[in-house]
Amino acid sequence: MARHQHDPDHLHPRPQLQSWISAPGSKNEVMVSHGRAPWYGPDGKNIEAYVVGIAGGSASGKTSVARAILSALNYIPTVLILSQDSFYNAHTDEEIELAFNNDLDLDHPDAIDSSLFAKCLMDLKQGKATEIPTYSFVHHQRMPEKKYIYGASVIIVEGIMALQSPELRDLYDLKVFVNCDSDLMLARRIKRDVQERGRDVDGILDQYLRFVKSSYDNFVQPSSRYADIIVPGSSNQLAIELLVTHVKRQLDTRSLRFRKMLAQMGDDEAEVQSSKGEEHSDKQVVLLEQTNQLLGLMTILRDRTTSRGDFIFYADRLSTIVVEKALTLIPCQPKTVKTPLGVDYKGTGGDDQLVGVSILRSGGPFSHGLRRVIRDIPIGGMLIQSDPKTGEPLLLKSDLPHSIKSTETSGEVKVLLLDSQMGTGAAAMMAIRVLLDHGVLESNIIFLTYLIAKQAIHSVLRAFPSIHIVTAAIDPGLDEMHIPYNRSTLVLGESAGEADFAVRLIDGDLTTGGLEGEREKVDDQREGVQSEKELGADRFKVPIKREMEELKFSRARERRGDDGAFGEKRAWVISPGMGHIGDRYYM
């Protein structure tokens, strides 16, 4: 994380702030930037998010302090402000009527659903996806819709009772209290509640005298004793700067620890782990039977002289074979149907809980194969790119099927995770981690690929020993290459020798017609097969373009004859391999 701080690189465009809860006056905000670097170690286990808890009286300036921290941390991929406002209890009709008459005590600690608050915060801190309730101050009521949140590196919690509950306090890495003069708080509250919460001055004062003031004296102010730092509620720029410096220092220390952890995985341990991986691979890796027919297919696909049309045809064919093999790992459900003769036939049915998730760069070709075998299977996508400098994967976007996003169903879902090849295993590990963070069981994940480098098996199974991998081939070599790039037209991705799907999308957008047109023609020939647009790629197009509008695809530039190589990026290439599968398939 420190790396970004000292590296005001133009590659990291300024993050965008978005309010993610539609209820009027919502204070919850999330800041997203170019991508999320691994939030887990090589053991696959999550590193916890950093959590700051901010308490203080109503209108003391908690939200303003939280927003100031959020803006100052703009080099962190995802910073989230989580407001206690979302966690007010659901109210009965009688309670709502009392609230409108200023007769409901909304300033008592019991007015907040602290256990739900703590549960959601715990999930987020541990890197898991969660669903946050929404609350309307205008209606004094919890709203039916929930908000799905996933992937915060820093969480800033704010609320009058944020330091009240021991359950919440235990989750904070830093506790802050905003101390403000009572008159100032009241003046600010009147102004805000009239403007934003649909209230009148009489009602506000009534509520203040009955509940707000006594709550502040009895609960809120006394909770300041738990704070590590007291920040004034006005003229507080210096205090906020000190606070931000402290948070940055803490984040730096964490990232150093992470790097140290990686470095500590010395050769000895790697050997032990590697032999464990070998044991696992016997059970967990399913290599297609190396028949003459399959070897013939692989020969065509590996042959550099194979035409693009043939490459697409045989890649599609191979993906259906891999999918069929993967389906043998999923238990069938008995199903009885009536034949046209009216006779019962006792057969088997598909698994309703089965979904596909394509790793975009190059899972696209596999999605076609999956659709050929199971026509209506939901297929989601994850856009994972490699940081060209560090080679580390970055999660840019995930668009998962509903059954994975819902905490009620994710534990039952079986996922076919699709990528053309697995070189270092870094992108696969990130995608698996995302699925686990949503509650998918490790043993319910099957990774499907054409080709895998031997050492990727060790890395992935060391971290996630219960997943299955189904592959058509295992290659011995994985070579690091340094590919020249032009900084102003930097390519992201291309790890493991794969083509870069997102970059192709950007490229497709920037070059008028050409590549897209060609792709459309190929799609037209495939009846019943989804194009990459339908498979979700298109949904990634707008944000990626907006956030990375500087980026163009350097190879496309090369073709146009541009030069100006500026630096080198790291890429890992499987050997003997099949080359850039995505490029050969799409371009």
Ligand X SMILES: O=c1ccn([C@@H]2O[C@H](COP(=O)(O)O)[C@@H](O)[C@H]2O)c(=O)[nH]1
Ligand Y SMILES: Nc1ncnc2c1ncn2[C@@H]1O[C@H](COP(=O)(O)OP(=O)(O)O)[C@@H](O)[C@H]1O
Residue ranges in contact with ligand X by CB under 6 A: 58-59, 85, 88, 99, 106-107, 137, 140, 160, 212
Nearest Cα neighbor of 429 from 441, 417, 440 is: 417
Pairing of strands 445-453, 421-422: parallel
Q: How far is the CB of 65 from ligand Y (least distance, A)?
A: 7
Nearest Cα neighbor of 60 from 182, 156, 191, 215 is: 182
Kindly tell me which residue out of 4, 125, 147, 188 binds ligand Y, with binding defined by CB under 6 A: 188
Question: Site map for ligand Y, 30-59, x if CB under 6 A?
Answer: --------------------------x-xx
Is the separation of the CB atoms in 496 and 579 below 8 Å?
no
Is the separation of the CB atoms in 116 and 133 below 8 Å?
yes
Q: How far is the CB of 188 from ligand Y (least distance, A)?
A: 4
Q: How far is the CB of 68 from ligand X (least distance, A)?
A: 16
Kindly tell me which residue out of 34, 62, 504, 580 binds ligand Y, with binding defined by CB under 6 A: 62
Closest to ligand X by CB, 160 vs 548, is 160
**CA torsion angle 314 320 321 324 (round to 10):** 180
Give which of ligand Y, ligand X, none residue 106 binds (C-beta under 5 to 8 Å, depending on kind): ligand X
How many amino acids of this chain bind ligand Y (CB under 6 A)? 12
The residue with its CB nearest to ligand X is 58
Closest to ligand X by CB, 102 vs 367, is 102
Closest to ligand Y by CB, 236 vs 367, is 236
Closest to ligand X by CB, 137 vs 485, is 137
Pairing of strands 393-399, 285-287: unpaired
Give which of ligand X, ligand Y, none residue 493 binds (C-beta under 5 to 8 Å, depending on kind): none
Kindly tell me which residue out of 28, 63, 489, 554 binds ligand Y, with binding defined by CB under 6 A: 63
Q: How far is the CB of 455 from ligand Y (least distance, A)?
A: 51
Q: How far apart are CA 362 and CA 493, in angstroms?
A: 10
Give which of ligand X, ligand Y, none residue 471 binds (C-beta under 5 to 8 Å, depending on kind): none
* Residue 6, burial from CB neighbour count under 10 angstroms (0-12, 13-18, 19+): exposed
Give which of ligand X, ligand Y, none residue 29 binds (C-beta under 5 to 8 Å, depending on kind): none
Give which of ligand X, ligand Y, none residue 61 binds (C-beta under 5 to 8 Å, depending on kind): ligand Y
Is the separation of the CB atoms in 365 and 315 below 8 Å?
yes
Closest to ligand Y by CB, 16 vs 234, is 234
| Per-residue 3-state assignment (H helix, E strand, C coil) for 541-573 | HHHHHHHCCCCCCHHHHHHHCCCCCCEEEEEEE
Kindly tell me which residue out of 236, 306, 385, 386 binds ligand Y, with binding defined by CB under 6 A: 236
User: What letter represents residue 95's amino acid?
Assistant: E
Two structure tokens written together for 129: 């996806």
Sign (positive or negative) of CA dihedral 507, 512, 518, 523: positive
Q: How far apart are CA 363 and CA 550, in angstroms?
A: 25
Question: Site map for ligand Y, 470-509, x if CB under 6 A?
Answer: ----------------------------------------
For 171, phi and psi rounded to 5 degrees? -90, -10
Give which of ligand X, ligand Y, none residue 75 binds (C-beta under 5 to 8 Å, depending on kind): none
Give which of ligand X, ligand Y, none residue 448 binds (C-beta under 5 to 8 Å, depending on kind): none
Please identify which residue in the block is written with the tokens 């990528």: 419
Give which of ligand Y, ligand X, none residue 234 binds (C-beta under 5 to 8 Å, depending on kind): ligand Y
The DSSP annotation for 297-353 comes to HHHHHH-TT--HHHHHHHHHHHHHHHHHHHHTTSPPEEEEEE-TTS-EEEEEE--TT
Q: How far is the CB of 22 from ligand X (least distance, A)?
A: 17
What residues between 189 and 208 interact with ligand Y by CB under 6 A? Answer: 192
Give which of ligand Y, ligand X, none residue 505 binds (C-beta under 5 to 8 Å, depending on kind): none
List residues binding ligand Y (CB under 6 A): 56, 58-64, 188, 192, 234, 236
